[in-house]
C-alpha cells in the first residue's frame, strides 16, 4: 500500500483492476454494477486539491529537456525521451532531503514531489513509469501554480 495526499491509501491490485476496466472512448470505468466516472469533485475530496482555479490547458513544446531537468531539478536523467524521464530515476534521485539542505535544494525536492504526484498519480500513463517534464515549467512560479485546478 502506498499513501498519498491526505493519507489516502492506494492499493496496487485495486488500481490495476480499475485500469483494466477503464474505457478511453467514454472516460469511464465499466464495473459489474454499472458505469462509473471519476469527477473533479472526487479528486478534490480524495486528495484535497482545489478544482476551482485556473484550468491548465496549454502544452509546453520545449526542445532542450535536459536543460529544463538540470535547471529546475539540479540533475539530469541519463534517459530523457521526448521530454519524459523514468519515475524510478525521479524517486531515487530525490529519495530523502538532508536536514542541512539549502533553500534551493528544498525547492527542487518540492518540485520533484509535485511532479511525481501530478504525473505519477493524477495524470499518469498506463505504465506509470514515465514522467513528462513539461509539468515542471508550470511549477516554476509556486504562487501561480497554486491557482491551477
Q: What is the 3-state secondary structure (H, E, C) of 18-56?
A: HHHHEECCCCEEEECCEEECCCHHHHHHHHCCCCCCECC
Query: Is 94 in the same domain as 149?
Result: yes
17-47 pLDDT, tens digit each: 777 877 777 777 777 777 777 776 776 777 6
Mean pLDDT confidence for 65-91: 88
Query: Is 78 in the same domain as 139?
Result: yes
Query: Is 61 in the same domain as 47?
Result: no
Q: How far is CA 66 from the centre of its chain?
A: 19
| pLDDT number for residue 36 | 74
User: Taking the CB of residue 69, how many other CB atoms lie within 10 A of it?
Assistant: 20
Q: What phi and psi, each to the nearest 5 degrees, are found at residue 92?
A: -70, -40
Q: How far is CA 124 from CA 35, 67, 87, 102, 106, in A?
A: 22, 23, 10, 30, 24
Looking at the structure of the chain, the number of domains it has is 2
Is residue 51 within 8 A of residue 43, CB to CB? The reply is yes
Strand partners, 86: 130
Q: Using pLDDT thresholds of 50, 70 and 90, give the confidence band for residue 102.
A: very high
Query: Is 72 in the same domain as 122?
Result: yes
Q: Report which of residues 106 and 4 the model is more confident about.
A: 106
Query: Is 74 in the same domain as 113?
Result: yes
| pLDDT number for residue 126 | 63
Query: Is 58 in the same domain as 125?
Result: yes
Find the domain containing 2 and state its range: 1-52
Is residue 35 within 8 A of residue 29, CB to CB? The reply is yes
Is residue 76 within 8 A of residue 144, CB to CB? The reply is no
| pLDDT number for residue 38 | 72
Query: Is 144 in the same domain as 80?
Result: yes
Query: Is 57 in the same domain as 119?
Result: yes
Query: Is 34 in the same domain as 73?
Result: no
Query: Is 41 in the same domain as 71?
Result: no
| Three-class DSSP category at 117 | helix
pTM: predicted TM-score of the whole model, two decimal places: 0.59
Amino acid at each position: 500500500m502506498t499513501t498519498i495526499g491526505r493519507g489516502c491509501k492506494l492499493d496496487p491490485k485495486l488500481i490495476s483492476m480499475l485500469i483494466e476496466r477503464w474505457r478511453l472512448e467514454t472516460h469511464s470505468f465499466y464495473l459489474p454494477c454499472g458505469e462509473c466516472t471519476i469527477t473533479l469533485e472526487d479528486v478534490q475530496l480524495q486528495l484535497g486539491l482545489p478544482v476551482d482555479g485556473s484550468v491548465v490547458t496549454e502544452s509546453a513544446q520545449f526542445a532542450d529537456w535536459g536543460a529544463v531537468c538540470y535547471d529546475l531539478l539540479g540533475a539530469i536523467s541519463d534517459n530523457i525521451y521526448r521530454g519524459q524521464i523514468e519515475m524510478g530515476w525521479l524517486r531515487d534521485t530525490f529519495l530523502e532531503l538532508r536536514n542541512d539542505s539549502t533553500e534551493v535544494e528544498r525547492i527542487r525536492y518540492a518540485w520533484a514531489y509535485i511532479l511525481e504526484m501530478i504525473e505519477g498519480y493524477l495524470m499518469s500513463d498506463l505504465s506509470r513509469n514515465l514522467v513528462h517534464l513539461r509539468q515542471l515549467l508550470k511549477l516554476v512560479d509556486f504562487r501561480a501554480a497554486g491557482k491551477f485546478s
